[in-house]
């Protein structure tokens, strides 16, 4: 009889609060001991020379999500969670999207059917509310919040998702009443339509004009409006995928007023710019970088770093929204219709697998953020914001043994050929990083070692969530 199922030996543990050398004892999928020296285990994993971090939590991921056009997501729950595991992430929060006219319960059931038996890491759903009927607001949503679906996203743009101001206010009020967390996609629908149609009339239809059709002012205006609605209804909100200085200014303004506004950013806003959308060789390559909000410029990247270091931005997610670039069945970004206008290029890029290496390399290895801030931005703050803490997002006795063993000195070049996602490209092809996940552990079981996925689809569990921690 051994004391532990597994011991992680000789690593340097890092949490959002501290770092120290210790062994970790794991039994029944949970951390049961942390001490300078542990012995007596069925399995001993040598972490000598490695960092031991909480498994990444990616709280903004789209998997198996239907689009209104013919594009199809390049990742289902199997390939998307496989990619997450390969990149050191042990929990993902994808969206269960309510189509207009659909009941929320139906949407949730459909996503469970998509996910069941397929996941390599743990999963919990946010909802997307696109049709806030009296039935949805009065009955379905409160019941689902009570059942552990404690967060939902609303959109201020996109034809098939946009809510008007009255609807936003009503949805916010329900969240306030029942203790749910609202995530807001803050870009203004009418301004985007106005600018897009003007650009099209002028013949500016290449992918680059996607960025011109959604300038920072469009994001700034919507961020301010969402914050105002949150103040009117008295609720905290999360502004997702913040891309630059202007939205950040609104968030700082709101916080100075005492409002609880949490803000998220993503790898694209520290590494890409609108220039990446330029179709330099007339090969439509710019479409690979079309996402919303679009990447901005060097000054915005600097503003995002400022937000990450001063605590304005607390969540670093991928917004993994994977499409094929070219797909024989015409389901990707490069289609005859998309070549007629940027408006028809599916919005979104893959990134769940590269999120941690990019932030580690650009942040920790380049001396911009501490190891502890890295852990907070990639795991702990997600767990706190979305009701998973302290079960997940930290290394503590009683927590799930979700860990990533991290080689802080390993140099890698990101290559599509080595990634595990379903998409046929990565926006970061050729991007060099220092720092790499070498082992991913989910509830005590090794999921990934040296890039090999070792667990079976279905080993990942669905996690029901409690209220967020303020």
Which residues would be at the binding site for Zn ion (CB under 5 A)? 185, 319
| Nearest residue (CB) to ligand URP, 140 versus 319 | 319
Residues 6+ apart with CB under 8 A from 11: 21, 24, 47, 48, 50, 51, 52, 405
Return the one option of ligand URP, Zn ion, none that residue 347 interacts with (CB less than 5 to 8 A, by type).
Answer: ligand URP
Which residues, in sequence order, are bridge partners of residue 252? Answer: none
- 9, 82, 120, 185: which one binds ligand URP (CB under 6 A): 185
- 292, 301, 317, 381: which one binds ligand URP (CB under 6 A): 292
| Nearest residue (CB) to ligand URP, 323 versus 389 | 323
Asked if residue 222 binds ligand URP (CB under 6 A), the reply is: no
Give min distance, CB of 338 to ligand URP, in A: 14
Residue pair 287/207 in contact by the 8 Å Cβ criterion: yes
Residue pair 125/95 in contact by the 8 Å Cβ criterion: yes
| Nearest residue (CB) to ligand URP, 157 versus 468 | 157
Return the one option of Zn ion, ligand URP, none that residue 291 interacts with (CB less than 5 to 8 A, by type).
Answer: ligand URP
Q: How far apart are CA 271 and CA 431, in angstroms?
A: 10
| Nearest residue (CB) to ligand URP, 127 versus 321 | 321
Q: How far apart are CA 19 and CA 398, in angstroms?
A: 18
Query: Do the strands 452-453 and 445-449 form a parallel or antiparallel pair, or are they unpaired?
Result: antiparallel
x/- mask, ligand URP, residues 236-275, rule CB under 6 A, reads: -----x----------------------------------
In the sheet that holds 30-35, the strands lie side by side as 30-35, 23-27, 4-9, 41-46
Helix axes 216-233, 165-178, angle to 10 degrees: 50
| Nearest residue (CB) to ligand URP, 285 versus 292 | 292
- 222, 291, 404, 439: which one binds ligand URP (CB under 6 A): 291
How would DSSP label each residue in 167-202? HHHHHHHHHHHHT-EEEEE---HHHHHHHHHHHHHT
Nearest to 78 by CA among 122, 115, 123, 125: 115
Give min distance, CB of 18 to ligand URP, in A: 33
Return the one option of Zn ion, ligand URP, none that residue 391 interacts with (CB less than 5 to 8 A, by type).
Answer: none
| Nearest residue (CB) to Zn ion, 94 versus 444 | 94
Distance of CA 76 to the CA centre of its chain: 15
Q: Where are the beta strands (DSSP E) in 122-281?
A: 122-123, 126-128, 151-155, 181-185, 237-239, 261-265
x/- mask, ligand URP, residues 430-469, rule CB under 6 A, reads: ----------------------------------------
Give the residues lining the site for ligand URP (CB under 6 A): 62, 185, 241, 291-292, 319, 321, 347-348
């Amino acid at each position: 009889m051994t004391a532990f199922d597994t011991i992680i030996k000789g690593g340097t543990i890092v949490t959002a609060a501290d770092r120290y050398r210790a062994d970790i004892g794991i039994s029944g999928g949970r951390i049961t001991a942390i001490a300078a020296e542990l012995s007596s285990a069925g399995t001993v994993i040598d972490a000598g020379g490695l960092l031991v971090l909480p498994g990444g939590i990616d709280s903004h991921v789209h998997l198996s999500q239907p689009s209104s056009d013919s594009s199809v997501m390049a990742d289902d729950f199997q390939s998307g969670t496989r990619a997450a595991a390969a990149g050191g992430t042990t929990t993902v929060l994808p969206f269960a999207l309510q189509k207009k006219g659909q009941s929320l319960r139906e949407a949730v059931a459909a996503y469970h059917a998509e996910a069941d038996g397929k996941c390599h890491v743990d999963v919990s759903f946010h909802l997307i509310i696109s049709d806030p009927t009296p039935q949805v607001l009065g009955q379905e949503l409160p019941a689902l919040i009570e059942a552990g679906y404690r967060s939902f996203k609303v959109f201020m743009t996109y034809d098939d998702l946009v809510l008007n101001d009255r609807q936003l206010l009503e949805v916010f009020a329900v969240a306030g009443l029942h203790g749910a967390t609202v995530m807001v996609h803050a870009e203004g629908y009418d301004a985007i339509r106005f600018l897009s149609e003007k650009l099209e009339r002028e013949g500016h239809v290449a992918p680059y004009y996607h960025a011109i059709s959604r300038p920072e002012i469009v994001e700034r205006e919507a961020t301010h409006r969402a914050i105002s609605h949150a103040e009117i209804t008295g609720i905290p909100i999360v502004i997702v995928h913040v891309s630059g200085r202007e939205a950040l200014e609104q968030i700082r303004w709101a916080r100075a007023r005492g409002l609880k506004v949490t803000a998220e950013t993503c790898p694209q806003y520290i590494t890409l710019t609108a220039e990446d959308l330029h179709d330099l060789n007339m090969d439509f390559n710019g479409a690979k970088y079309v996402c919303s909000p679009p990447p901005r410029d060097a000054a915005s990247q600097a503003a995002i770093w400022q937000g990450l270091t001063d605590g304005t931005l607390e969540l670093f997610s991928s917004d993994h929204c994977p499409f094929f670039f070219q797909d024989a069945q015409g389901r990707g970004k490069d289609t005859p219709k998309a070549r007629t206008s940027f408006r028809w290029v599916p919005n979104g890029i893959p990134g769940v697998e590269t999120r941690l290496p990019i932030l580690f390399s650009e942040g920790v290895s380049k001396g911009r953020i501490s190891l502890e801030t890295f852990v907070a931005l990639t795991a702990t703050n997600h767990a706190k914001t979305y009701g998973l803490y302290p079960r997940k997002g930290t290394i503590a006795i009683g927590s799930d043994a979700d860990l990533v063993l991290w080689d802080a000195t390993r140099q890698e070049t990101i290559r599509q050929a080595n990634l595990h996602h379903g998409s046929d490209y990565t926006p970061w092809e050729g991007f060099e990083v220092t720092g790499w996940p070498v082992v991913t552990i989910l509830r005590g079981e090794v999921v990934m070692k040296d890039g090999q996925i070792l667990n079976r689809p279905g080993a990942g569990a669905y996690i029901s969530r409690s209220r967020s921690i303020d």
